[in-house]
Amino acid sequence: MGTKSTPPGFHPIARHDGIFQEQVHDTYQTKGKLPEPTVCPQCSAVFHKGRWQWLAAPANAHQHNCPACQRILESQPAGFVTLAGDFFVAHRDEIVSLIHNVEKKEKSEHPLKRIMATEEEGNGVLITTTDIHLARGIGEAIHHAYQGDLEFHYNPAENLLRVNWSR
């Protein structure tokens, strides 16, 4: 009836713009701003104008591993795509070709979106990626082309996406 009470342990969050943005904690995201230009010694991507790009590296560029190469070096994927089922086995080459086309397109525009590995798993395959958005894009492309069952499982605490497709 017009009285407000604050529950114990409740701490309001001040929002200056009226919108609350949840913080995503990705341990592989570059901390702070790198000096420009910086080149990745592993893949030759260049950090320029605040992002990693495919550019020719200047001779005097600083060196620092990009987040994708760091994930690859530490074997810490951000995305897992599991493909399984009789349809997959029968159309494996077509589906794998589609996956590599999706990666090629994404990687050409975004150097941090890469496939790390492709591993055979029984009647299917497990693909690991350096980026959750690439994993999602692969799953959506396969589902769009071949239908089937598509599931996404996102773990925000680890910034990790698991995509399962079968048919």
Q: What are the pLDDT tens digits along the chain (167 aa)?
A: 455 555 555 445 454 554 544 455 566 766 668 888 899 999 999 999 989 999 998 889 999 999 999 999 999 999 999 999 999 999 999 999 999 999 999 999 999 999 999 999 888 999 999 999 999 999 999 999 999 999 999 998 888 999 999 99
Please report whether residue 25 resides in a domain. Answer: no
For 42, 126, 154, the CA distances from 45, given in Å and listed in that order, are: 8, 26, 28
Could you tell me if 49 and 108 lie in one domain?
no
Note the pLDDT of residue 157: 86
Please report whether residue 26 resides in a domain. Answer: no
Could you tell me if 77 and 154 lie in one domain?
yes
Note the pLDDT of residue 124: 94
Could you tell me if 90 and 47 lie in one domain?
no
Q: Is the pTM of this model over 0.85?
A: no
Could you tell me if 60 and 79 lie in one domain?
no
Could you tell me if 54 and 112 lie in one domain?
no
Note the pLDDT of residue 22: 46
Please report whether residue 123 resides in a domain. Answer: yes
Please report whether residue 125 resides in a domain. Answer: yes
Could you tell me if 93 and 161 lie in one domain?
yes
Could you tell me if 80 and 61 lie in one domain?
no
In the chain, how many domains are there? 2
- CA separation for the pair 159, 64 (Å, rounded): 22
Please report whether residue 124 resides in a domain. Answer: yes
Note the pLDDT of residue 9: 53
For 53, 75, 98, 150, 165, the CA distances from 146, given in Å and listed in that order, are: 32, 30, 11, 11, 10
Note the pLDDT of residue 8: 56
Encode pLDDT of 79-104 as tens digits.
Answer: 999 999 999 999 999 999 999 999 99
Residues 6 or more apart whose CB falls under 8 angstroms from that of 106 comprise 113, 133, 134, 137
**Domain of residue 154, residue span:** 73-166
Note the pLDDT of residue 6: 54
Note the pLDDT of residue 95: 97
Sheet holding 115-121, edge to edge: 115-121, 124-129, 79-84, 160-166, 149-155
For 4, 16, 117, 152, 154, the CA distances from 157, given in Å and listed in that order, are: 33, 25, 23, 15, 9
Note the pLDDT of residue 33: 82
38-39 and 62-63 strand pairing: parallel
Could you tell me if 109 and 156 lie in one domain?
yes
Cα angle vertex 77, ends 74, 82, to 5°?
140
Could you tell me if 106 and 126 lie in one domain?
yes
Per-residue DSSP letters for 88-152?
HHHTHHHHHHHHHHHHHHHHHH-TT--EEEEEEETTEEEEEES-HHHHHHHHHHHHHHH--EEEE
